Amino acid sequence: MTDLESTTNELSKSPATGFRAWEGFIFACLAGLGYSTANIFLRMVSDQDPAWVSCVKAIPTLVFVIPWLLLRYQKGHRTPPSRRLVLLMTAVSIVGHLAGNVVFQWSLGIIGLALAVPVTTGSMILASAVLGWWLLKEQVSNRTIVAILILLAAIVLLSFGSDEATESVLEDPDAAARSLKLATLSVLLVCGSGIGYALFGIVIRHCVQNGMSNPMVLFISSTIGFIVLLIATFISTDASVISNTSPEDLTYMLLAGVCNFQAFACLVVALRLLTVTSVNLLNSSQIAIAAIAGVVFFNEPITTPLVLGVMLTIAGVMTIGSARE
């Protein structure tokens, strides 16, 4: 918390250079690792209601961030963010949790971890580059463009095995007849999920650049997420889903939330030091980790597109590692 605290007080209006850029690089990589671990836990509960899983996942962030806010208050940080920023963060939190988290969680139970992560990440990279250039006036270097193309090529390769992945994840002998339709629908929806995440990143960067503290970003996002997702749970299903959740599944959901908090905290810092596009590209290491985890832990199929896609992903991450702006 101390490092995040000091970073908030050194807010800059443009991406950092030199040592501070390397600091942003490290935090972005830690965010990718944290999100990857969270995704593994989420895959373990992919048979549960997506809104309920996402709701429980928001709880650890609230547990961690409330004491952080109280500590800041005792230290004299008592100036509230502007009403405009709070409303903006509230609105994008609703979009991010519903269009992002819920749809992503649903897709894990349809196309699996190895495919859901790369499709979501790829659409996020493309959308963040466009939105960052359009809304934040961020420059996209030639090397960053090359990295984007490499990673998008990886996503295309990984997507070739979507119907086979669906058959494997559903574990249904009759799935072959409907796997292509389900896979296509899921891929389209997780593309929308990636766009929602990209918008989330753009708004976070805007808010912290204009004085909103890191813990306040986390508090608003997790509070709004918990409330909206709890309502969505009762709308989409009944209370039995909550009461029938096993202690083991509940533990996985909460652990996903702990990892998500660690990753999100690192992401907020990285977004203050690097451009949104650079952070999202570094964060795309999730693609390779997800593909490996899907095969090793969940017996998702090993295919030629999967292997080639992982290799291209590593190449893309190495490219962006030398292209920090």
Q: What is the mean pLDDT of the chain?
A: 80
CB 70 within 8 A of CB 220: no
> If you average pLDDT over residues 17-37, what whole number do you get?
83
Q: Is residue 3 part of a domain?
A: no
In SS3 terms, the chain reads as CHHHHHHHCCCCCCCCCCHHHHHHHHHHHHHHHHHHHHHHHHHHCCCCCHHHHHHHHCHHHHHHHHHHHHHHHHCCCCCCCCHHHHHHHHHHHHHHHHHHHHHHHHHHCCCCHHHHHHHHHHHHHHHHHHHHHHHCCCCCCHHHHHHHHHHHHHHHHHHCCHHHHHHHHHCCCCCHHHHHHHHHHHHHHHHHHHHHHHHHHHHHHHHHHCCCCHHHHHHHHHHHHHHHHHHHHHHHCCCHHHHCCCHHHHHHHHHHHHHHHHHHHHHHHHHHHCCHHHHHHHHCCHHHHHHHHHHHHHCCCCCHHHHHHHHHHHHHHHHHHCCCC
Q: Is residue 156 part of a domain?
A: yes
CB 306 within 8 A of CB 162: no
Taking only the tens place, the pLDDT of each residue in 176-226 is: 545 567 777 787 888 889 888 888 888 888 888 888 888 898 899 999 999
| Separation between Cα atoms, residue 114 and residue 308, nearest integer Å | 13
In SS3 terms, 121-134 reads as HHHHHHHHHHHHHH
Domain total in the chain? 1
Q: Residue 55 corresponds to which tokens in the numbers above? A: 């709701």
Q: Is residue 194 part of a domain?
A: yes
- Give the gyration radius of the chain's Cα atoms: 19
Whole-model pTM: value is 0.80
CB 186 within 8 A of CB 116: yes
Residue ranges making up the domain that contains 307: 17-321
Q: What percent of the chain lies above the pLDDT cut of 90? A: 26
Taking only the tens place, the pLDDT of each residue in 76-87 is: 887 888 999 999
Q: Is residue 1 part of a domain?
A: no
| Separation between Cα atoms, residue 44 and residue 47, nearest integer Å | 8
Q: Is residue 8 part of a domain?
A: no
pLDDT band at 317 (very low <50, low <70, confident <90, very high): low
Q: Is residue 5 part of a domain?
A: no
φ/ψ of 241, rounded to 5, equals -60, -40
Taking only the tens place, the pLDDT of each residue in 275-293 is: 766 776 776 677 778 888 8
Q: Is residue 7 part of a domain?
A: no
pLDDT value of position 7: 36
Q: Is residue 6 part of a domain?
A: no
43: pLDDT strictly greater than 90: yes
pLDDT band at 167 (very low <50, low <70, confident <90, very high): low
66: pLDDT strictly greater than 70: yes
Q: What angle is formed at CA 216 by the lines to CA 215 and CA 218, rounded to 5 degrees?
A: 65
Cβ contacts of 231 within 8 Å, gap of 6 or more: none
Q: Tell me which range, 100-109, 234-243, 291-300, is most confidently predicted by mean pLDDT.
A: 100-109
